[in-house]
Amino acid sequence: MATPFDRAAKRYIEEWVPRFVPYHLDLVRELALAEGQRVYVASCGPGAEVLAVARAVGDRGVVRATDASQEMVDLCDGQVKKAAFAQVRCEKAAPGDVGEGGWDAIVCAFGLWVVDDRAAVLADWAKSLAPNGKVGVLTFGPPDDTDAFELLSRALTELEPGAVGRPPRIDAGREAITRMFEGAGLAVVRHTVLRHTVSFATAEDFVAAIREGRTWRAVFEGLGPERAGRVTARFFEQVGGPTAPLVFAPAATLAIAAHPGAEVELAVRPSVVAPPLSTAPHDGAENADD
């Protein structure tokens, strides 16, 4: 018999992974990984970016994928085995567990928000990079008032401002991301906002998917059916009713950083020299692109 988590994980994989794969693929493509490189994937989830990384580095490469959830590690490992990627190792570990180090790239797609001590983890990543290595991350934002996620968040804030387990968000703006990386001794070489179209046949379908989609599951469980029903009713008022179709393009920020002075390759530029660290967010950041 399937457990509640099994059902949630199944719904997450069916509903959300396909919709966000384009963002994962963008991140891996922008990192311009090469054959034979060593890559660490933190907070790998079910492994969409892990498969893309494995294809990029080829059989001679090395990929270590970790997640704090054993269930996610098992899902990722199953995908890796199905694709016959022998160069990939999946393990349960905290994001800062960088293993042997010397990584040509560290990848973290939509995982920063769950990291409690983000500064310490980023510092661990910086220490474990090869001299010309790079860190590539994805995080949701900046907020968009027309985004269905934002509309649901607004309904929750209005009716249940103290909701326990409300999905957190990190500041995805250029200055905040620059400060975050500079705190670990890394300089931003790429900062851009991605958008891909996400659609649901009805607003009800969206709510059903998000209710079982990991980050919001705890919110709905904490509220209970009656209070959660009021929140979803407010959301339906904003989008035209429960049967209204939803089509939107969630914003996700992609950022890549490297050691100051390191020469790295990106998809948008064959050779980029990471700028020096600065006290002002934009000083010396002429190589950072929008």
DSSP sequence for 167-210 = PP----SHHHHHHHHHTTT-EEEEEEEEE--EEESSHHHHHHHH
Note the pLDDT of residue 80: 97
pLDDT in tens, 164-188: 655 667 899 999 999 999 999 999 9
Distance, CA of 265 to CA of 70 (rounded, Å): 34
Ranges of each domain in the chain: 4-143+168-196+251-273
Task: Summarize the confidence of residues 144-165 as an average pLDDT.
Answer: 88
Looking at residue 17, its pLDDT comes to 83
Summarised one tens digit per residue, pLDDT across range 202-257 is 999 999 988 876 668 888 888 999 999 999 999 999 999 999 999 999 999 999 99
What is the model's pLDDT at position 214? Answer: 62
pLDDT (tens digit, 9 = 90+) per residue, 52-92? 999 999 999 999 999 999 989 999 999 999 999 999 999 99
Segment 278-284 mean pLDDT: 48
Q: H helices of 194-265, where?
A: 203-211, 217-239
CA distances from 100 to 37, 62, 196, 211, 281 (A): 14, 12, 35, 38, 32
Peptide bond into 131 cis (omega under 30): no
Residue 286 has pLDDT above 60, yes or no: no
For the chain, give the percent of residues with pLDDT over 70: 89
CATH of 4-143+168-196+251-273, one of 3.40.190.10, 3.40.50.150, 3.30.1330.10, 3.10.450.30: 3.40.50.150
Averaged over 186-192, what is the pLDDT?
97
146 or 203, greater pLDDT: 203
User: What is the reported pLDDT for 215?
Assistant: 67
pLDDT band at 162 (very low <50, low <70, confident <90, very high): confident
Query: 95: buried, middle or exposed (CB in 10 Å: 19+, 13-18, 0-12)?
Result: buried
**Confidence bin at 290 (pLDDT 50/70/90):** very low
Whether the predicted pLDDT of 7 surpasses 60: no
CA distance 10 to 21: 16
Residue 156, pLDDT above cutoff 60: yes
Q: Give pLDDT, residue 168.
A: 66
Asked if residues 134 and 257 have their Cβ atoms less than 8 Å apart, the reply is yes
Strands across the sheet containing 187-195: 88-92, 62-67, 38-41, 103-109, 129-140, 251-258, 187-195
Whole-number Å distance between alpha carbons of 55 and 137: 19
Average pLDDT, the chain: 89
Q: What is the reported pTM?
A: 0.89
Neighbours of 6 (CB within 10 A): 11
Do 78 and 50 meet the contact criterion of CB atoms below 8 Å apart? no
What's the whole-number mean pLDDT along residues 268-283?
77
Least confidently predicted of 49-53, 175-179, 271-275, 277-281: 277-281
